[in-house]
Amino acid sequence: MGFLNKNARQILGVIILGFIILTILVLIFPSSWVDLEFSEELQEYHNPILDFTMKAISWFGLMYSSIIIVLGSAILLFLVKKRRAAYFCFSTLLISLITYSIKVLINRPRPGKDLVRIIVDVQHQSFPSGHVSFYIAFFGFIAFILHHHKWLTRIARNVIICFCLVLILTIPVSRIYLGAHWFTDVLGGFLLGTAFLGILIMLYLKKQRKA
């Protein structure tokens, strides 16, 4: 167990270091051909159905939607007497505050209409992607606790876990396709969200062993 914990900490350290390096690169090179190339490739084929699908994928990350989903999940866990899981579930909202703080510090502008197709007009700064970091933190934690505790039936667990994983895997594509973010934005959100989720899981397991 100690060996696994050591490896987990090392992987977490690499992820955090990767995010720091990426942040420095974004500060030095706020625009790059890599970002533009990714956006052009993802937006090359578009239609109303695909537009609607990408908007639907991103819906869970809207401010009011995310707050309702997190609070609803935490309350549900609390009512079924999974109080520790409920507290940790509620704490996933912290990733939004962390992401917003970094956005303000980096102050990277969103993709412009002269460079990409803007389907969803969004506010605030661009790096890192708040949608991506939130999806990994919240849906990743939900998938973890369902896999770890096996509270529900196998079919129910698999359906919810698969749903969470699909959202996590598709949200980066959705944000670039909608013209809301650059590739490096979603990569930064992925690294930040993964680091946050890793720390959350480590704390959760640590408290569980103590309990």
pLDDT one-digit tens code per residue, 13-69: 999 999 999 999 999 988 888 999 999 999 988 899 999 999 999 999 999 999 999
**Residue where the block lists tokens 């939607």:** 65
Alpha carbons 111 and 96: distance in angstroms, whole number = 21
Asked if 188 and 128 touch (Cβ cutoff 8 Å), the reply is: yes
For residue 180, give every residue at least 6 positions away whose Cβ sits within 8 Å of its Cβ, in sequence order, or none.
Answer: 58, 110, 111, 118, 120, 122, 129, 131
What are 120-172's pLDDT values in tens digits? 888 789 999 999 999 999 999 999 999 988 888 899 999 999 999 999 999 99
